[in-house]
Amino acid sequence: MHIDDALRARRSIRAFRPDPVPLELVREILQAATLSPSGTNIQPWKVHVAAGAVRARLEAEVLAHRESDPEDKAAEFPRSSKRKEPYTTRMRTLGKAMYGLLEIPKGDQAANWRQWGRNYQFFDAPVGLIFTIDKDLDAMSFVDLGIFAQSLMLAAAARGLGTCAQGAWNNYWTVTRRVLSIPEDEYIVFGMSLGYADETAPVNSLVAEREPVDSFASFHGF
Ligand SMILES: Cc1cc2nc3c(=O)[nH]c(=O)nc-3n(C[C@H](O)[C@H](O)[C@H](O)COP(=O)(O)O)c2cc1C
């Protein structure tokens, strides 16, 4: 597959078929992702991969915690909830398109809550990944982790698998840490769903808009 075709083939998948992903295939995708660059080659990425009964327990415990303590939304590491333009508009555009496909009317808080909760079911994907990083590393290692995640998503896409990166897993990290026995000295940075896309689900037809090159790049000395 041409790399640009893989870039186009990867889109966030938010409804999966139950078909299992064999461990060997998960390992192959992770192996491919290790080819990612990282500053001074420290390869700071750590991935906790959950399937089967463990994944089911993670889902059940996080959802139960979420119902019992809905306000427990803080990430483990500093994050700002402030958004300004042009980001607010882009975020709203995505939300409108996604909730439109899901047929969730604007302002339906109960339906919004339920749909966001689908994150913690990995959108029914059979494999859930939790990405962590040692707490004593600096911001550059978060960059490395993001690059690694994109490599992983492209390697998955090239093999016909769908993924969705999920910052939602910032929340309820106390539960995730406990269920997956994640060491205290690692930050839980984000999660990811991995599996086979349910092509019949309208939400998977979402194509998120992109801004043109001239909106973010400035050229000097050409
Ligand atoms: C770091 C990161 C966190 C994300 N968190 C979530 C999430 O929690 N839930 C979700 O449904 N999508 C999440 N997404 C997916 C984005 O909404 C998606 O990448 C964006 O809208 C562009 O669409 P595309 O991935 O289909 O190209 C996340 C993506 C990234 C890179």
Mutate which of 7, 10, 12, 189 for ligand 1 pocket (most atoms within 8 A of beta carbon): 12
**How far is it, in rounded angstroms, from Cα 41 to Cα 46?**
14
- Rg of the chain over CA atoms, in angstroms? 18
* 94 within ligand 1 shell (Cβ under 6 A): yes
Q: Where are the domains of the chain?
A: 3-77+121-202
pLDDT tens for the chain, 222 residues long, are 899 999 999 999 999 999 999 999 999 999 999 999 999 999 999 999 999 999 999 999 999 999 999 889 889 988 887 889 999 999 999 999 999 999 999 999 999 999 999 999 999 999 999 999 999 999 999 999 999 999 999 999 999 999 999 999 999 999 999 999 999 999 999 999 999 999 999 999 999 999 999 999 999 999
Give the position, in ligand 1's atom list, of the atom nearest the Cα of 123: 11
- What local confidence, expressed as pLDDT, does residue 189 receive? 97
On the CB side of 205, CA atoms within 13 Å amount to 8
Sequence-ordered list of residues with C-beta below 8 angstroms from that of 67, at least 6 positions apart, any chain: none
- What local confidence, expressed as pLDDT, does residue 82 receive? 85
Burial class (CB in 10 A: 0-12, 13-18, 19+), 169: buried
* 171 within ligand 1 shell (Cβ under 6 A): no
* 190 within ligand 1 shell (Cβ under 6 A): yes
Selecting from 1.10.260.40, 3.40.109.10, 3.40.50.300, 3.30.1370.100, what CATH number does the domain 3-77+121-202 have?
Answer: 3.40.109.10
* 121 within ligand 1 shell (Cβ under 6 A): no
- What local confidence, expressed as pLDDT, does residue 94 receive? 98
